[in-house]
Structure 1
């Protein structure tokens, strides 16, 4: 069997239990519901949520998280298909970091003397831990969907699954987090999402083999 025939066979096998597209949309929906349920069952919305929702900083957190989740969802779906070239998909993941970098630069220009306070926030380590925990459930769901496919690079696909889980978790966690500075997001949110990314890559590398 040559390479093309092997790829076709893998693609056919991945469709037997559930069409890949349906598996991904089902997983995305479940991950969103699960993340929201975890946040609102274990955490309380910040007291000033109504006021904060009208501020640029708070809205930026949501936009950043949605951008990360949307781009990662598109990339991980592409990577789950046999023969997908991960290097061609990676540029789409630059959108969220570019937004964050721009926001950090603007923050430093507007408040050059308050960068340390903005970066550390009220309780950075607690934010990191909570965001990581919120993302674990969605990550498990996304990795399960990834097994319906046949990614050529399971570790790369798993890493992007971690980005997706982190983005989804950050959307809902933002309603609880009282720290809105882009500098805070750049440090603590990024650390939590990076941990989910590493975990996703590690688990996918071990569990997804063909």
Structure 2
């Protein structure tokens, strides 16, 4: 192959990838924007959010959810094309878990044992289990629609990671409303709620991303 032909082939190969990346960014932004509209119109932040924002427990919830949302969304994008699988680093998904485990250990040291179960159960577990999956529907739908134009080697895994990303995005919004800021609550109920969205993404991927 001549040099000019090689260059033309590389340019032709880069074009669609850039186009797919742009579309993926738009899909992500659309899902986040839809969630923002639904959240602020129908749910809203907690009344004492100004005071809560001065505490490390409240702010830490967003550190955890964003530390999961960003890498999970990136992984979902890379899983959509076989050529990018080698760039997937699934170990980054362990970062928020490690952060949560460290914060939980710190919480157990700060709080008397008599309050451990109280902090773990909290007062919003039902809302957590309900609102996170509901808010995850929009971004997950946007992800699945866009990922159909990809060529995932493992549709189920791709869908599950997209579901995890959608759940983390939803959890970020829900954290604005949630009154339970203890890491004991977060490490218990948030992962359960997000595992629901990951399971939904898995089955959605098997159903819609298979080619």
**TM-score of the superposed pair, with normalisation by structure 2:** 0.87
Q: Which has the greater radius of gyration?
A: 2
Instruction: Give the structure 1 partner of residue 54 of structure 2.
Output: 54
Q: What's 1:82 paired with? A: 82
Corresponding residue for 1:173?
174
SS in 2 for 1:51: helix
C-alpha spacing 1:39/1:83, structure 2 compared with 1 (3 Å): same
User: For the Cα contact (< 8 Å) 1:68–1:96, is it kept in 2?
Assistant: yes
CA distance in 1, matches of 2:71, 2:210: 25
Distance 1:86 1:178 in 2: 41
Which residue in the other structure is 1:29 paired with?
A: 29
**Match of 1:189, SS?**
helix
RMSD over equivalenced CA pairs, Å: 2.1
- After TM superposition, the structure 1 stretch with the greater mean CA deviation from structure 2, 64-73 or 76-85, is 76-85
Task: Judge conservation of contact 2:61–2:175 (CA < 8 Å) in 1.
Answer: yes
Q: Offset of 1:31 from its aligned partner?
A: 1.4
Structure 1 ranges of 4+ moved more than 4 A = none
1:107-126 to structure 2, matched below 5 A, reads 107-113=107-113, 114-126=115-127
How far residue 74 of structure 1 moved from its aligned partner, in angstroms, is: 1.4
Structure 2, unmatched stretches of 5+, are: 1-8
TM-score by length of 1: 0.88
For 1:41, the equivalent position in structure 2 comes to 41
Q: Structure 1 or 2: larger helix share?
A: 2
For structure 1, list consecutive stretches of 5 or more residues without a partner in the other structure: 1-7
- 1:99 is the counterpart of 2:99: yes
Using the TM superposition, give the Cα deviation of residue 139 of structure 1 relative to its aligned residue in structure 2, in angstroms.
0.9
- Give the C-alpha shift of residue 47 in structure 1: 1.2
